[in-house]
Amino acid sequence: MAVSRRTFLAASALAGLAGGQIPAAAAYAASPPGDVVGKVTVGYQGWFACAGDGAPINGWWHWSGNWGQPPSPGNNAIVSWPDVRDYTRTYPTAYPNLGNGRPAALFSSCDQQTVDTHFRWMRDNGCDTAALQRFNPFGGEGPTRDAMAAKVRAAAEAYGRRFYIMYDVTNWTNMQSELKSDWTSKMSAHTASSAYARQNGKPVVCIWGFGFDDPSRPFAPGPCLDVVNWFKNQGCYVIGGVPTYWRQGINDSRAGFGDVYRAFHMISPWMVGRTGTLDGLDWFHANLTVPDVTECDARGIDYQPCVMPGDLQSGHRRHGDFMWRMFYNVVRAGSHGVYISMFDEYNEGNQIAKTAETAAFVPAGSGIRALDEDGTACSADYYLRLTNDGGRMLKGLIPLTAVRPTPPTTGTPPAETDLARGRPVSASSQTQWYTPAYAVDGDANTYWESANNAFPQWLQVDLGAVATITRLVLRLPPPSVWQTRTQTLSVQAGTSPAPVTTVVASRGYTFDPASGNTVTITLPQTTARYVRLQFTANTGWPAAQVSELQVYGS
């Protein structure tokens, strides 16, 4: 076979990757880098709503089995619990409080602030483009989906991201005619946005679901090919979300769809649920991804494989090694972009957006796994940061490496881990909404305040297990409006819920905004599970006040 310039470039790229070199940007198959080729695309559901959020659907959309009732242990559609500390508005559920004592509340995708927060996370973590999922909009969900398209557009414009419409044809009986109608009458208007994704100068549209061998997508090849060609005739760059075995037409793919698959400008095979092991990923790399890339290169089709973090609740993630192996495999195969599944799939456990770090951030007794499920501490943003590094490897900004370069946490080393962060906390009293939980939430701008004019007062944290502790760090909010004050307190610690052993005698500690309103208390080496501060005075306010109670071990 004659060697074309395209196949030569692809072969050269693969040879370079095998040697651990940085891939050349010119090695893409059919298209130059654009908004999807050479980029990281994230699947964005945007399909969570809460009663009272003002959305047309007016219910707990995708959060609970019965959308008319709030989520609870008996009415649940949640697989992984989101970390909601970055949202300014959340909605209380019927779950028990979180492990740290705070209410179990959830976000609504229908709040613009939520979508803005998600796109800010995308911007900060190298997610270039969002594929907005759009299921059949001709039913009761339609108005809410229309509203979400507008919110995603606004957020993409505000945070310098790209977005495109990704039609999912699952259970869409009249998809052949209604897809065209929806694009013409509604969604095509969004291509006027500077944030709408373009590839090769054309607006991008994805159609997900043609050819899958299951009863929810029973369409014949003819109508499917008609839809693909119709969108191409509208001047669109069309991506196909296709079965894993699209090339062979076996297993999850029905036979007879070869012409449909090869009519797409870009092929994006589905991988969710196909394997949960590293060996399985390597098998798919050798037997599917590499041959897929070869065929796409030969036919002038762009190739966008799926990269996923793994099902958190099934223990697939291996604190990031599972996702990194996928990144490594698709980049070394010469793929032309990646599709992350999914950004916000909390109800299927496959999300990269911020997620509960520990049991302190999930409802007590719920059994929902947090990111530390395998014993490795992971920060809430870990899989966002991992995506950022994977994207940099795809783009040739770092060398190809099988070794995950992303640490699970961004904080201090293990010896400097704050043992009190997110742990259950209690107090002798509180004023208004200034709850004890604010003292262990990791946010120096929130604080606990006891009842006023009622000394003595106490604040206590349960570390969850006996630990050797050597140091406390106490904080008040840093703004200068907090004038210098001295609080008089002692430290008690022990292994019982009501510690009586005083490890540091009462004395005054000065909190000065000029030095960050921070006080460090050195302890004699102490073995304890419970740590209690006993307050008797405060020169700045007639109450005990703590923004952060941090506990460190040896």
Distance of CA 368 to CAs 243, 264, 441, Å?
30, 39, 20
Residue 334 in contact with residue 291, Cβ under 8 Å? no
pLDDT reading at 85 higher than 80: yes
Residue 47, Ramachandran bin (φ over 0: left; ψ between -120 and 50: alpha; else beta): alpha
* pLDDT 10s digits, 130-139: 999 999 999 9
Per-residue pLDDT at 515:
74
Q: Which of 105, 87, 100 is nearest to 422 (CA)?
A: 100
Task: Name which residue leads in pLDDT, 4 or 147.
Answer: 147
Per-residue pLDDT at 29:
58
pLDDT reading at 38 higher than 50: yes
CA–CA separation, 79 and 76 (whole Å): 8
Average pLDDT rounded to a whole number, residues 78-98: 94
Dihedral sign computed on CA atoms, order 471, 477, 479, 485: negative
Average pLDDT rounded to a whole number, residues 146-174: 97
Per-residue pLDDT at 553:
80
* pLDDT 10s digits, 100-126: 888 999 999 999 999 999 999 999 999
* pLDDT 10s digits, 312-328: 999 999 999 999 999 99
Q: Is 497 helix (H, G, I), strand (E, B) or coil?
A: coil
* pLDDT 10s digits, 496-519: 998 879 999 999 999 988 777 889
pLDDT reading at 230 higher than 50: yes
How confident is residue 415, by pLDDT bands cut at 50, 70 and 90?
very low
Please give the mean pLDDT across all residues of the chain: 91
pLDDT reading at 145 higher than 60: yes
Average pLDDT rounded to a whole number, residues 141-157: 96
pLDDT reading at 256 higher than 70: yes
CA–CA separation, 376 and 461 (whole Å): 22
Dihedral sign computed on CA atoms, order 25, 26, 27, 29: positive
Domains of the chain with CATH codes: 5-394 (3.20.20.80), 416-553 (2.60.120.260)
Dihedral sign computed on CA atoms, order 133, 138, 139, 144: positive
How confident is residue 27, by pLDDT bands cut at 50, 70 and 90?
very low
How confident is residue 416, by pLDDT bands cut at 50, 70 and 90?
low
DSSP at 394? H
Per-residue pLDDT at 403:
93
Strand partners, 166: 133, 206
The answer, as to whether pTM is greater than 0.95, is no
pLDDT reading at 412 higher than 90: no
Per-residue pLDDT at 554:
59
pLDDT reading at 28 higher than 60: no
* pLDDT 10s digits, 331-390: 999 999 999 999 999 998 899 999 999 999 999 989 999 999 888 999 999 999 999 999
How confident is residue 6, by pLDDT bands cut at 50, 70 and 90?
very low
Of the CA atoms within 13 Å of residue 20, those in its CB half-sphere come to 3
* pLDDT 10s digits, 180-227: 999 999 999 999 999 999 999 999 999 999 999 999 999 999 999 999
Share of the chain above pLDDT 70, in %: 94
Average pLDDT rounded to a whole number, residues 16-24: 36
CA–CA separation, 244 and 274 (whole Å): 8
How confident is residue 18, by pLDDT bands cut at 50, 70 and 90?
very low
How confident is residue 26, by pLDDT bands cut at 50, 70 and 90?
very low
pLDDT reading at 71 higher than 50: yes
Per-residue pLDDT at 411:
61
Residue 349, Ramachandran bin (φ over 0: left; ψ between -120 and 50: alpha; else beta): left
